[in-house]
């Protein structure tokens, strides 16, 4: 794996929905970075003046994201035993039920881009659509889909998956479009991969309905999320590029210990692009989210300040967005951190602000441990206390 520090190239970005260059900044998000794993130092959360879409501006080019997802996937569940077949989560069964209503026949060719370890495709197959194929940028994920569920999968992104001799009938992308810088090229790829009147199911977090207290403050502005969709802007993206909306809606998906408001749409390839309609819900939603997060952020900063006795240092568990944002914005003082711990092998043997990042197995120190995560707080607590039997004092930020 490449571990070189590369010079960060930052590019201004037109609106990914309508192409306009006029945008207004609502918020600046900042991140520290682990040595050798620099994707971005931050971005501007902006609103398009013309169509009202929300997106991250001043970010690296698409290639930097492609490299990041190939090398650093955190979606492969390294802790999971590939021998033990996990139960398909209810969120996958729910999505498969909705998707199944729009797949035209039992022999339809279904292709999922960003399939992670294949849970959704397994649920789709169980609904009577056996011809499924997945793809994921992470080779480990693609392998796991086959090992866990017998779901065939190839390695690739929306930009690199091969175009089949016989086009697909149905594409699925859930939790993917919010990660992609180049949405124009993405929808062009949908046209290349699908047959005439083929369909695509898209599901993304709903920025018009982000809720501050459902997750850690500003967590929706993560290192990896660079498009802030609403139902309207998702529909605009597709209808302006020759896809007709068959059904759109809202849903809520559980994700570990938090829940995520999402919006979805089923779109059909058709010849005629439709005019973009102004999105009036995203800006209001983002503004109220940002206000709510400021309050919650003040609370967790105070808790961190009060957690240590003078001269005491702590171990910080987790080096994701939660930690990187706090480090970059003064919420965590690296001088008070003796070690960082993370279960993702891709982050280990690195440094963060000069402090080593180690695996849980390497942990020997008795310093108190700050669990720097909302979505995995309970799971990490269980791992520390029950699986590892450690007696370090725990600093928890969330009830
Ligand atoms: Zn726009």
Please state, in angstroms and rounded to a whole number, the distance separating the CA atoms of residues 50 and 363.
52
Residues 280 and 328 placed together within one structural domain of the fold:
no
Write down the pLDDT at residue 73.
Answer: 56
Residue 271 domain-assigned (yes or no):
yes
197 shares a domain with 326: no
Residue 227 Cα to ligand 1 middle (Å): 12
Q: How far is CA 212 from CA 145, 259, 341, 373, in A?
A: 33, 11, 26, 15
C-alpha 21 – ligand 1 centre gap (Å): 8
Longest dimension (CA), the chain: 68
Q: Residue 125 domain-assigned?
A: yes
Cα distance between residue 314 and residue 27, in whole Å:
30
pLDDT of residue 232: 98
The domain boundary, picked from 288, 323, 351, lies at: 288
The answer as to whether 4 is a domain residue is no
pLDDT at 90: 85
Report the separation in Å between the CA atom of 16 and the middle of ligand 1, taken as the mean of its atom positions. 7
Q: From the CA of 28, how far away is ligand 1's center (Å)? A: 19
Q: Is residue 148 part of a domain?
A: yes
Are residues 283 and 202 part of one domain? yes
Q: For residue 50, report the distance from its CA to the centre of ligand 1, in Å.
A: 5
Q: What whole-number distance in Å separates Cα of residue 207 and Cα of residue 201?
A: 18
Helices 119-126 and 90-100, packing angle to 10 deg? 50
List, as ranges, residues with CB under 5 A of the ion ligand 1.
15, 17-18, 20, 48, 50-51, 53
pLDDT of residue 78: 45
Q: Where are any strands of DSSP class E within the chain?
A: 23-30, 42-48, 54-57, 110-113, 132-136, 153-155, 168-174, 194-205, 227-228, 243-255, 258-269, 314-317, 337-341, 350-352, 355-358, 369-371, 394-395
Ligand 1 centroid distance, CA of 293 (Å): 25
What is residue 105's predicted lDDT score, i.e. its pLDDT?
96
- CA of 275 from ligand 1 middle (Å) equals 12
Residues 335 and 271 in one domain: no
> Does 235 share its domain with 330?
no
Position 387 in a domain? yes
- 77 lies in a domain? no
Task: Give the pLDDT confidence score for residue 348 in this predicted structure.
Answer: 82
Residue 223 shares a structural domain with residue 332: no
Q: Which residues contact 341 (CB under 8 A, 6 or more apart)?
A: 315, 316, 317, 318, 357, 358, 359, 360, 363, 369
Distance 7 CA to ligand 1 centre (A): 29
Q: How far apart are CA 189 and CA 185, in angstroms?
A: 6
Residue range of the domain that includes 275:
90-288
Q: How many domains does the chain have?
A: 2
- Prediction pTM value: 0.88
Distance 264 CA to ligand 1 centre (A): 19
Kindly report the CATH number assigned to the domain that includes residue 333: 3.40.50.720
Tell me: do 320 and 279 sit in the same domain: no
Tell me, in angstroms, the distance from the centre of ligand 1 to residue 17's CA: 5
The tokens 């010849």 sit on which residue?
271
Residues in CB range of 146: below 8 A, 6 or more apart: 118, 152, 153
3 state DSSP class of 298 = helix
* Domain match, 339 and 277 both: no
Alpha carbons 265 and 235: distance in angstroms, whole number: 7
Domain boundary among 254, 288, 322: 288
What is the per-residue pLDDT for 82? 45
Identify whether 70 is part of a domain. no
Mean pLDDT by 10 residues, the chain (399 residues): 50 91 95 78 95 96 84 54 60 95 97 96 97 94 94 96 96 96 97 97 96 88 93 98 97 80 96 91 97 96 95 95 94 96 86 94 96 94 96 95
CATH number, domain of 204, equals 3.40.50.150
Give the pairing of strands 314-317 and 369-371.
parallel
**Same domain (yes/no): 98, 229:** yes
Cα of 348 from ligand 1 centre, angstroms: 40
Residue 305 Cα, ligand 1 centroid: separation in angstroms?
41
Give the residue from 255, 288, 321 where a domain finishes: 288
Residue 334 and residue 270 share a domain: no
Do residues 180 and 277 share a domain?
yes
Does some domain include residue 300?
Answer: no
Tokens of 165: 């001799």
Do 118 and 166 reside in the same domain of the chain?
Answer: yes
Q: Is residue 261 within 8 Å of 252, Cβ to Cβ? A: yes
């Amino acid at each position: 794996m490449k571990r070189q520090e590369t010079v960060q190239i930052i590019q201004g970005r037109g609106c990914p929905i309508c192409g306009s260059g006029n945008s207004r900044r609502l918020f600046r998000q900042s991140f520290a970075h682990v040595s050798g794993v620099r994707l971005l130092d931050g971005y501007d959360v902006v609103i398009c003046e013309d169509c009202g879409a929300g997106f991250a501006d001043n970010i690296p080019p698409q290639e930097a994201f492609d490299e990041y997802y190939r090398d650093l996937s955190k979606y492969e569940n390294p802790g999971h035993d590939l021998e033990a077949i996990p139960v398909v989560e209810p969120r996958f069964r729910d999505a498969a039920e909705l998707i199944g209503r729009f797949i035209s026949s039992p022999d339809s060719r279904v292709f999922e881009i960003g399939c992670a370890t294949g849970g959704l495709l397994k649920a789709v197959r169980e609904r009577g659509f056996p011809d499924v194929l997945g793809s994921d940028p992470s080779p480990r994920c693609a392998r796991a889909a086959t090992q866990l569920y017998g779901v065939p999968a190839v390695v690739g992104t929306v930009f690199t998956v091969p175009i089949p001799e016989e086009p697909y009938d149905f594409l699925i992308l859930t939790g993917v479009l919010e990660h992609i810088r180049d949405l124009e090229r993405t929808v062009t790829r949908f046209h290349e991969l699908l047959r005439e009147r083929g369909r695509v199911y898209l599901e993304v977090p709903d920025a018009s309905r982000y809720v501050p207290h459902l997750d850690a403050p500003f967590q929706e502005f993560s290192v990896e999320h660079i498009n802030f969709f609403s139902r309207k802007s998702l529909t605009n993206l597709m209808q302006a590029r020759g896809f007709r909306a068959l059904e759109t809606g809202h849903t809520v998906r559980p994700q570990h210990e938090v829940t995520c408001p999402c919006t979805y749409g089923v779109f059909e390839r058709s010849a005629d692009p439709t005019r973009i309609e102004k999105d009036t819900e995203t800006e209001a939603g983002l503004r109220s989210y940002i206000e709510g997060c400021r309050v919650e952020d003040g609370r967790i900063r105070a808790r961190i300040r009060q957690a240590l006795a003078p001269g005491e240092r702590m171990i910080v568990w987790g080096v994701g967005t939660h930690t990187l944002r706090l480090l970059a914005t003064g919420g965590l003082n690296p001088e008070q951190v003796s070690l960082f711990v993370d279960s993702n092998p891709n982050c280990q043997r690195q440094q963060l602000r000069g402090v080593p990042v180690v695996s849980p197995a390497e942990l020997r120190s008795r310093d108190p441990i700050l669990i720097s995560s909302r979505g995995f707080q309970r799971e990490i607590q269980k791992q520390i206390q029950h699986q590892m039997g450690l007696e370090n004092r725990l600093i928890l930020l969330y009830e």
